Homo-oligomer: A and B are copies of this chain.
Amino acid sequence: MALSARNRLSGTVQSVETDGLMAEVEIELDADQVVTAVITSGSVDRLGVEEGKELSAVIKATEVMVEN
């Protein structure tokens, strides 16, 4: 199974904050950089996202901007 989204950054869940329908997940990448994802609480439950879990942040290339 492969997904067209070009970006897959592996890391460890640093924090999960669930609030009603939405949840904010902070993922610490290998190089001390942190990625924050806002996903539905339903997906947090379905994937069993919790502190310390290893997973990846996935991002479609057209959603990435560049800052100089």
Please list the residues of chain A having a beta carbon within 8 angstroms of any beta carbon in chain B.
1-10, 17, 19-25, 27, 29-33, 35-40, 42-44, 46-49, 53, 55-68
Contact = CB atoms under 8 A, between A and B. Distances in A.
A65 B48 CA distance: 14
A39 B21 contact: no
B60 A2 contact: no
Copies per assembly: 6
Given A3-B3, A20-B19, A66-B27, A61 B38 contact: yes
A65 to B, nearest CB: 4
Given A19-B20, A33-B30, A36-B6, A67 B61 contact: no
A1 B1 contact: yes
